[in-house]
A and B are shown apart, each in its own frame.
Chain A
Amino acid sequence: MKKGFITLHVNGDAHEVLVSSQHTLLDVLRGKLKLMGTKEGCTTGSCGVCTVNNGRGEAVLSCLTPALEWADQSITTIEGLEKNGRLAPIQQAFVEYHAVQCGFCTPGVIMSAQAVLNLTPAPTEEDINDGLAGVICRCTGHIKVKEAIRHVGEFGPTP
């Protein structure tokens, strides 16, 4: 198939989109669904800013996977974390710990952090390091990010 309609379940909504074999999942999220939260960085799998969560809540690189592979699959992007106008605990923790500098990598970092918490609700230092190894912040560092993740791991959602 060079081109075809597929159904993508993004953030709980089903979208029927016309996808070409030349599109990666990232191209479809940004170009077709206009979900611009997911960023395009290196497009070669090195930087991790395009990270989204798959149906099992794991972090995957949307730039390295053909969109046609995702027919009928569920995806969560950064736009899907907020519920009813309330930030997700991990987003709130990023705000409180100032785990953001320029913000470009933040969606990818948060989706990676969310994946860590999905897998290990109380992550160890090693779990956090392992989960963040594939995503790179060029401005600041991972200290504040790790503090934010640890906070959610220890205290759960901030009231």
Chain B
Amino acid sequence: MLLPEHDFVKPATLAEGLAVLRDAPGDVRLLGGGTDVVFNMRCRLLTPDTLLSLKDLPELQGIAVLPDGSLQLGAACRLTDLVAATVLTERYPALVKAFRAVASRHVRNLATLGGNLCLDTRCWFTNQTKEWRDAKGPCLKTGKDVCHAIAGAPVCVALNNADSPPALIALEATVTLASSRGERRLGLQDFYREDGIRHTVLEPDEILTRVTIPPTTDRLVFLKETARQGMDFSYGAIAVRADGSGATASRLRIVLGSLTTAPRLLAGAAERLAVLGLGDDGLDAACATLRDELGPLTNLYSPAAYKRELARILLRKAVLELREMQA
């Protein structure tokens, strides 16, 4: 099946791309490696008027250590290149694990960092062929006032299944968004919204250009739970970062992915662990906060009860792993 008809534009510079984004009529979609966008176009979930290819933009390339020690990653870096980058494997092995957790090598050889951060949300009803969707008609995401996955859902509850955001949020990464109006920079946790349809704050005229990770010597653990080992979207993922060493830590950052529409920062659990330490007491206290902190979860992809249990197990495993790590 051919892709939907569209205009393919490959700008030579970021400025040119931003001008196209501002001036082109109709729906303009940003294209990184294409592994998400082309797939969704095939399913006719996306029928853009224009595809704007960002993969080769010079401004979006490169892995650099800035003078202040922060790490800057171009949004068009392929996941493969990030997995292979020595500066990353040496300083951020858990982050590399998160990049490596994305799909298969075949996909990572095309897919970009920006693409993974902007990965569209997914739902078992909507992310199917057009024929499948047509059988029940449009949903919240495809233009009608009804959700076919969760009866009565007032907003689209599709999940954010991207693997790299939890690890990057734990590292307090910021994203830079460029438009012809200028540039803005915000924390990655503020990039996501609890809305399956407009799941990021990226404006229609903006392009995610780079990711900046502030310098740190903290420990980081990333875990992803999948049905099979490799080539799967996750049931749930967690990134836990802590200072200190062994069972002592005073500052933690815990991020859950794939259980909700936006990656979830668990401030309560982090606070418990910071106060009580990473020993069994702290861990039990942190797990006890999970139910309240997660709040209502949907049965999308897996039952809410399973998700709660998974969150607890992921947190437990991650903290046990952290305990073994020295600063």
Q: How far is the CA of A78 from the CA of B109 in the complex (A)?
A: 18
Q: Which residue of B lies closest to A44 (CB)?
A: B39
Contact B55 A69 (CB under 8 A): yes
B residues 1-58 near A (Cβ < 8 Å) are: 1-10, 31, 33-35, 38-39, 42-43, 51, 53, 55
Contact B2 A23 (CB under 8 A): yes
Contact A68 B110 (CB under 8 A): no
Shortest beta-carbon distance from B24 to chain A in Å: 13
A residues 43-102 near B (Cβ < 8 Å) are: 43-46, 48, 51, 54, 58-61, 64-66, 68-69
Per-residue contact bits, chain B 105-148, to A (CB 8 Å; 1 contact, 0 not): 11101100000000000000000000000000000000000000
Shortest beta-carbon distance from A125 to chain B in Å: 13
Contact B104 A48 (CB under 8 A): yes
Q: Which residues of A contact B106 (CB under 8 A)?
A: 45, 48, 51, 59-61, 112, 134-135
Q: Which residues of B contact A22 (CB under 8 A)?
A: 2-6
Among the interface residues B3, B80, B106, B110, which one has the most CB atoms of the partner chain A within 10 A? B106
Is B71 part of the contact surface with A, judged by Cβ < 8 Å? Answer: no
Q: Which residues of A contact B38 (CB under 8 A)?
A: 24, 64-66
Is A129 part of the contact surface with B, judged by Cβ < 8 Å? Answer: yes
Among the interface residues B8, B42, B55, which one has the most CB atoms of the partner chain A within 10 A? B8
Contact B107 A134 (CB under 8 A): yes
Q: Which residues of A contact B266 (CB under 8 A)?
A: none
Contact A64 B39 (CB under 8 A): yes
Q: Which residues of A contact B103 (CB under 8 A)?
A: 45, 134
Q: How far is the CA of A26 from the CA of B104 in the complex (A)?
A: 19
Q: How far is the CA of A3 from the CA of B306 in the complex (A)?
A: 49
Contact A61 B107 (CB under 8 A): yes
Contact A60 B109 (CB under 8 A): yes
Contact A1 B231 (CB under 8 A): no
Per-residue contact bits, chain A 1-12, to B (CB 8 Å; 1 contact, 0 not): 110000000000
Among the interface residues B31, B51, B53, B109, which one has the most CB atoms of the partner chain A within 10 A? B109
Q: Which one, A2, A21, A54, A134, contacts B105 given CB within 8 A? A: A134
Is B230 part of the contact surface with A, judged by Cβ < 8 Å? Answer: yes
Shortest beta-carbon distance from B7 to chain A in Å: 6
Q: Which residues of B contact A24 (CB under 8 A)?
A: 3, 38
Q: Which residue of B lies closest to A116 (CB)?
A: B105
Shortest beta-carbon distance from B99 to chain A in Å: 13
Given known contacts A1-B8, A22-B5, A59 and B109 CB-to-CB distance under 8 angstroms: yes
The 22 sampled A-B contact pairs (Cβ below 8 Å) are A1-B10, A2-B5, A2-B7, A21-B6, A21-B51, A23-B3, A24-B3, A43-B1, A44-B43, A45-B35, A59-B105, A59-B109, A61-B106, A64-B34, A65-B110, A66-B3, A66-B38, A68-B8, A69-B53, A112-B105, A133-B229, A134-B230
Q: Give 4 nearest A-B pairs by CB, closest first.
A: A134-B104, A133-B230, A134-B106, A21-B8
Q: Chain B residues in contact with chain A, CB under 8 A?
A: 1-10, 31, 33-35, 38-39, 42-43, 51, 53, 55, 80, 103-107, 109-110, 229-231
Known: A21-B7, A22-B5, A112-B106. 20 other contacts (CB 8 A): A1-B8, A21-B6, A21-B51, A22-B6, A23-B3, A45-B35, A45-B106, A48-B104, A59-B105, A61-B35, A64-B39, A64-B110, A65-B38, A66-B31, A66-B34, A69-B10, A130-B105, A133-B104, A133-B229, A133-B230
